[in-house]
Structure 1
Amino acid sequence: MQAKAIESRSGGQRLVGPIDLTLDGQGATVVMGPNGAGKTTLLQLLHGTARLSAGEIEWACSTEKARHHQAFVFQRPVMLRRTVLENLIYPLRLRGVSKAEARKDAEEWANRVGLEPLLGRAAPVLSGGEQQKLALARALICKPKLLFLDEPCAALDGRATREIEAILQSAKSTGTRLILSTHDLGQARRLADDVLFLLGGRLQEAGPANVFFNLPETAEAQAFLRGDIVE
């Protein structure tokens, strides 16, 4: 994927950009930066859920085909007013999978993420951690090649965060490309293969995770990693 001078504007104000960016290969890209840096907007622009005000995004295939092989997990999971089982079956049925095969896959994924005992429970009454696991399973059940995640562990406790990270590491190991935002430096260090550091809607730094965390180039990134307030 190659983004060329992409921008997002609203009411005459530039929210993000212009940004030039190339992402390819496998692994996990973590988007970091203070509140208001433009992390969520950048993810939405790349995924296509936010409209570009300027610039373009090129894929190795047609845009339609690229979107077909992507999924997005929001900070606050969107739950269908259905059971856990029906939430997992839904995206498969949309893609033409038979009822029997969809149910089999749904039960398998529920087991993978520890939701098998809750298959008959209404998704909206699940805990925050359970809903996030369901949202991940529902995204991964279609075997996306690229998965976007916006603060996937925000407001979750340590145990739920560990479980979510295990699911993400497993997805990454089987070839799913991850692009996620997080405020959690520890999580970024655990998951990232490379880092994008945003500030004021601009891309301040981009590079391998070990370089960013150990030898950040800019004073702003250095301050951010120290825990200082960066504006």
Structure 2
Amino acid sequence: MTTILETNALTRVVGGEPIVDEVSIRIDEGAVLAIVGPSGAGKSSFLRLLNRLDEPTAGTVTLSGRDYREIDPQTLRKRIGLIPQDSALQSGTVRENIAISDRIRGEPVDDRRVSELLEQMRLTGYEDRPITDLSGGERQRVSIARTLYVEPDVLLLDEPTAHLDAATEATIEQLLADRIADDDLTCVLVTHDTAQAKRLGDRVVEFADGTVVAEGEPDEVLS
């Protein structure tokens, strides 16, 4: 397999304490890497370093063999898209949120792509609905569609089904699984749910105290 994203001794120090400590991992193209570990282990902090939402103190990240500091941050975040735990949508309609990247740049909206994503996320007919009228699960589906709209090389998922009821969680997980399979997506998934890590992950990394303590096949790490 081809490595698309790689970190080497990636470190972030805050207040004199390393919250991500010399993490070196490789993510292969078309694979799903699940990251598990207790609260405060550095999982989400590591995820934010992967597209420079936070800056590393030391170490490197390479995207397709290129140091990501050589890539314009806006371009980088288009290529490495993040779906946060909180959907963090803007005011306006579903359509406006999905195509927000084009709206910000003043470019024409790709209505075909919007319609395709609405269908994939089971939101057909929602395009003109205000974000304020949506449930938590519907908002998260819009958040996923917004990130997929720009067709990222790597999809970062930070607890994508947290704080949702069991039925909604199952729906969103299945929608993600469908997109991963159909579009051959490369994903880094942070989850507290080890069963979800087993279901979606090709490989699993376990974090503790900001560093990797185990890595391997899901059944090996999560036995």
TM-score by length of 2: 0.88
1:110 paired to 2:114: no
1:164 paired to 2:168: no
Of 65, 76, 80 in structure 1, the residue corresponding to residue 86 of structure 2 is: 76
Of 148, 155, 169 in structure 1, the residue corresponding to residue 163 of structure 2 is: 155
Q: Deviations over 1:190-220 (max 9, x none)?
A: 1111001000111101112132223xxxxxx
Letter in 2 for 1:32: V
List aligned pairs for 1:71-220, cutoff 5 A: 71-94=81-104, 98-99=108-109, 102-173=110-181, 174-214=183-223
The higher radius of gyration belongs to 1
Letter in 2 for 1:175: D
Alpha-carbon distance in structure 2 between the residues aligned to 1:93 and 1:61? 31
Gaps in structure 1 of 5+ consecutive residues:
215-231
How far the C-alpha of 1:103 sits from its partner, in A, is 2.1
List aligned pairs for 1:1-16, cutoff 5 A: 1-16=5-20
Aligned to 1:28: 32
Aligned to 1:221: none
Q: Deviations over 1:33-71 (max 9, x none)?
A: 001001100101112111101111122254326543221
TM-score by length of 1: 0.85
Alpha-carbon distance in structure 2 between the residues aligned to 1:154 and 1:19? 25
CA contact (8 A) 2:51 2:76 kept: no
Letter in 2 for 1:206: E
* Alpha-carbon spacing, 1:165–1:95, altered in 2? closer, same or farther (3 Å): farther
* Alpha-carbon spacing, 1:32–1:14, altered in 2? closer, same or farther (3 Å): same
CA contact (8 A) 1:15 1:201 kept: yes
- What RMSD, in angstroms, separates the aligned Cα atoms of the two structures? 1.8
What is the number of residues matched between the two proteins? Answer: 212
Letter in 2 for 1:195: V
SS in 1 for 2:22: strand
Alpha-carbon distance in structure 2 between the residues aligned to 1:27 and 1:59? 15
How far the C-alpha of 1:93 sits from its partner, in A, is 4.4
Letter in 2 for 1:196: V
How far the C-alpha of 1:150 sits from its partner, in A, is 0.5
Gaps in structure 2 of 5+ consecutive residues:
none
Alpha-carbon distance in structure 2 between the residues aligned to 1:180 and 1:95? 29
Letter in 1 for 2:114: A
Identity of aligned residues (%): 29
